[in-house]
Amino acid sequence: MSKVDKELTIQALVEAVPYIGGSLATLYFGSKQKRQFHRIETFYKEIKEEVALIKNKIKDIGEHNSDELAAIIEQLHEKIEKEPLIEKREFFKNYFKNTLIQPVNRNYDERKKFLDILTDISLLEAEVIKFLNEQTGVVDSLSINKPGIEKSIIQGSIYKLKSWGIITATLGSIALGGSDGGIHESISLSEFGKRFLDFCLK
């Protein structure tokens, strides 16, 4: 099923909801296209000005693998259209600018992985990456905290970053009970994590 077919199917299902379906479908799907267009329009208006500031760093288009670059740009557009957070769209701008500076050529898998992570990453997870980058050595995973955020949420973020290969971890000790209870790991950014940070978050 194509993207358009899925949209039409979902719209039809929403419209089928008794009493409010038609109005709800008009409200959501009518404004959805406007929101998506506005996001991509704003993105390129802003990127036009920012690219002008780095024009001397931009590589010739011939240095890219054209098929790989086209695939990356297509996926980038789809992700920008769907991303409601301004902060996340700033990350996508970093990605776009660095793609112009560092050509897509025999590195497609890593660039696509960067893009996939950007789509799923939360602002908290981005903060954890930046925090680890500022440290001079490994950090006890249970020592990371943020006011107003439960420790379990932070630990879940660390787990996700480990699963993506952004963080490397060495098992320390296991503490049972108390405020210090849990699995202590010594964590730091992996080399892949450092490249992701430099390419997408700076």
Taking only the tens place, the pLDDT of each residue in 20-49 is 556 656 655 566 677 787 888 888 889 888
**Res 36: pLDDT:** 80
**Res 175: pLDDT:** 59
Map out the domains of the chain as residue ranges.
123-202
**Res 131: pLDDT:** 96
- pTM, whole model, 2 decimals? 0.81
**Res 132: pLDDT:** 96
Low pLDDT (below 50) residues in the chain: none
**Res 7: pLDDT:** 59
- The answer to whether the beta carbons of residues 188 and 168 sit under 8 Å apart is yes
**Res 37: pLDDT:** 77
Residue located via tokens 């430099």? 198
CATH number for region 123-202? 1.10.10.10
**Res 24: pLDDT:** 59
**Res 14: pLDDT:** 58
